[in-house]
Amino acid sequence: MSLGSGPRELVVLGTAGAVPTRERNHNGYLLRWDGTSVLFDPGEGIQRQMLHAGVSSPRIERICVTHRHNDHCLGVPGVLNRMAQDRPGREVTVHGPEDAFEHLRALAVVAQANVRVTVQGHPALEEDVPVADVAGSALTARALDHRVPALGYRLVEPEHVTFSPDALRAAGITGPDVGRLQREGELRGVRLADVSTRRRGQVFAFVMDTRLCPSVSEVVRDADLAVLECTFTDRDADLALARGHLTARQAGETAARAGVRSLVLTHVSARYDGAELEEEARAAVAAVGGRTTVRVVRDLDVVPVPPRAERSSVAA
């Protein structure tokens, strides 16, 4: 549960790779985060999936698209129309790489929806590019390695400071001096670390179509919940490389080495069973001594962001 209003959780709307199947819809992932929602990569049919999942469109403030391939964005017009039905005239921002700007703008025009749409194209760089503030957390993007320019998204909550009342009392710090100590870091010989605990903010990461590259590790680094594609198994690694995708082994090993707590695998090729991909990823985590939990999700699954890992109450 977040410090804000509402849960922090991922609602999985679609999990297919490239083409839908009888069991898996085109891509679509909705992140609920402190009373707002961010929709990632809405493919075809996502408006109907939202109804099945009980997702409320008025809470969606942003749509983040990783790249311009249609299985990751063709649902944009339908979603915009859903928004216009639920709250006419509202504002929504569509984010994507600069390469996809005209494509995304055309989808917004085709929708002819009664919503105020802003399309923002972000440079695909091998460094964090600021995208937006999401309920006080920083959303950034970084270039991946696909057949067209693609972005991975990372959402980071700021670090929080929690004071110990007993430690403050023993140090004689009261009233406005508490705020002064927090701002300045030290007051009358008392360090902030002596009377407080720093608690890291939660981190969410989203990586779709990409070959294995250093940016994948950077986007998912220390994430509490990371969503990664796993289109192929390792026996088809050559095919994954040629088509610009990850294998389940690559996804599992990368997540484990990057310190991911909970790994969601998706974008499943119709040629595989999800259990096979999950087994391969778990074996990769175990091989490097990682503690990352692994789950290949199905349509309409709901995955909570893991609770924060608490640190010791007061710094030594």
Residues 172, 108, single domain; the answer is no
Residue that terminates a domain, selected from 197, 212, 246: 197
- CATH number where 129 lies: 3.60.15.10
Residue 308 domain-assigned (yes or no) = no
Residue 316 domain-assigned (yes or no) = no
Residue 75 domain-assigned (yes or no) = yes
pLDDT of residue 3: 45
Give the number of other CB atoms < 10 A from CB of residue 155.
26
Pairing of strands 262-266, 225-229: parallel
Residue 302 domain-assigned (yes or no) = no
Residues 68, 192, single domain; the answer is no
Residue 254 domain-assigned (yes or no) = yes
Residue 80 domain-assigned (yes or no) = yes
Residues 147, 68, single domain; the answer is yes
Residue 3 domain-assigned (yes or no) = no
**Active-site residue, from 71, 145, 194, 224:** 71
Residues 129, 216, single domain; the answer is yes
Residues 193, 281, single domain; the answer is no
Q: Check if 41 is active-site.
A: no
Tens of pLDDT, residue by residue over 169-185, are 898 989 998 888 888 88
For 79, 100, 158, 264, the CA distances from 133, given in Å and listed in that order, are 22, 21, 11, 24
Residues 60, 130, single domain; the answer is yes
Residues 65, 134, single domain; the answer is yes
Regions of the chain short of the pLDDT cut 50: 1-3, 311-316
For 62, 277, 293, the CA distances from 286, given in Å and listed in that order, are 36, 14, 10
Residue 27 domain-assigned (yes or no) = yes
Q: Which residues are annotated as a binding site for Zn(2+)?
A: 67, 69, 71-72, 146, 209, 267
Strand spans (E) along 101-172: 116-122, 129-134, 137-143, 151-156, 160-163
Q: Backbone dihedral region of 234: left (phi > 0), alpha (psi from -120 to 50 degrees) or beta?
A: alpha
Residues 54, 149, single domain; the answer is yes
Residues 62, 188, single domain; the answer is no
Print the domain residue range for 288.
9-159+200-297
Q: How far apart are CA 294 and CA 263, in angstroms?
A: 5
Q: How many domains does the chain have?
A: 2
Tens of pLDDT, residue by residue over 14-65, are 999 989 999 999 999 999 999 999 999 999 999 999 999 999 899 999 999 9
Residues 208, 293, single domain; the answer is yes
Residues 141, 169, single domain; the answer is no
Residues 280, 135, single domain; the answer is yes
